[in-house]
Amino acid sequence: MFKGSLVALMTPMRADGAVDEDAFAKFVDWQINEGTHGIVPVGTTGESPTLSHDEHRRVVEIAISVARGRVPVIAGAGSNSTAEAIELTRHAKQAGADAALVVTPYYNKPTQEGLFLHYTAIADSCDIPVIIYNIPGRSIVDMSVETMARLAKHKNIVGVKDATANLTRPLHTTRACGKDFVQLSGEDHTAVAYLASGGHGCISVSGNIAPRLLSQMHVAWQEGRTADAMAIQDRLVPLHDAMFCETSPGPVKYAASLLGHGTAHCRLPMAPIAESSKARVRAALTEVGLLN
């Protein structure tokens, strides 16, 4: 259903902090023209924690409008409040998204049974494919493979964005959830290794900056050109490193600004990245061949 290079879209903002809707629309169109296989608005990279609900909905609607069915749109719809996650997931369905990406509840630290009940409530309330977003580094809680297998039995729960960087996880997930359960890496460095372990694609941060290269990498893998995929992976290592030299999306928004895609502005509490980090990002873009 979903595979290849999907991009966790940043949300461009003007210098005054308002969402730059025009820049975002142009950015989505550029992504698709560069070969991106799917777009994911208002995830972590899209600064969803600091967008208002109205802004959140508007960004999803713009992404769907610009995509025009050319690629799937997986709308971020998670919250640590189940009722709020249901509301955002219903909006994703009404707006025409192809799926909703729902993060494990942060701060609350629910038990595995709490996770099961949370996702079941969302999937029961909204007739749209739901992708679990498991990112213990940000949400603290880690969904077990056993809990995921229970949830995979629900007709609306179709896959996972796995940001654990644990390359044994897709092996166990395939065994527990079946080969049709969509597994998307959430970690750029290990994307090819994740594919080799049974994954279907990657929801990428670096894809904001190098969409064509990442698309080519996934196509090469799908076509059995393993050496070509690995060569692109190796080329992109400096970029992946730079995109996480500080907390995302600070570095990626600065990189995008260098390429003419909006400003580097992030909303507080995300601070502007340090001058040393700016130098590192610029150097990486130059080394990879994205900036002269």
pLDDT number for residue 44? 94
pLDDT number for residue 241? 98
pLDDT number for residue 1? 80
The active-site residue, picked from 3, 93, 161, 253, is 161
Written as tens digits, the pLDDT of the chain (292 aa) is 899 999 999 999 999 999 999 999 999 999 999 999 999 999 999 999 999 999 999 999 999 999 999 999 999 999 999 999 999 999 999 999 999 999 999 999 999 999 999 999 999 999 999 999 999 999 999 999 999 999 999 999 999 999 999 999 999 999 999 999 999 999 999 999 999 999 999 999 999 999 999 999 999 999 999 999 999 999 999 999 999 999 999 999 999 999 999 999 999 999 999 999 999 999 999 999 999 8
278 in a domain, yes or no? Answer: no
pLDDT number for residue 268? 96
What kind and span of H or E run contains 185? strand 182-185
pLDDT number for residue 137? 93
245 in a domain, yes or no? Answer: no
280 in a domain, yes or no? Answer: no
The active-site residue, picked from 133, 194, 253, 278, is 133
Structural domain containing residue 177? 4-226
Where are the extended beta strands (E) located within 82-174? Answer: 99-103, 130-134, 157-162
Question: Are residues 177 and 143 in contact, defined by beta-carbon separation less than 8 angstroms?
Answer: no
91 in a domain, yes or no? Answer: yes
Question: Are residues 203 and 186 in contact, defined by beta-carbon separation less than 8 angstroms?
Answer: yes
pLDDT number for residue 259? 97
Q: What is the pTM of this model?
A: 0.97
281 in a domain, yes or no? Answer: no
127 in a domain, yes or no? Answer: yes
pLDDT number for residue 81? 97
152 in a domain, yes or no? Answer: yes
Question: Are residues 85 and 111 in contact, defined by beta-carbon separation less than 8 angstroms?
Answer: no
Work out how many domains the chain is built from and give that number. Answer: 1
273 in a domain, yes or no? Answer: no
Assess whether 133 carries a catalytic annotation: yes
Q: Give the C-alpha distances (Å, rounded to integers) separating 102 from 40, 76, 276, 278, 290.
A: 11, 6, 34, 31, 32
Question: Are residues 13 and 263 in contact, defined by beta-carbon separation less than 8 angstroms?
Answer: yes
pLDDT number for residue 290? 97
- Determine the Cα–Cα distance for residues 5 and 268; give it in Å rounded to an integer: 29
CATH number of the domain within which 49 lies: 3.20.20.70
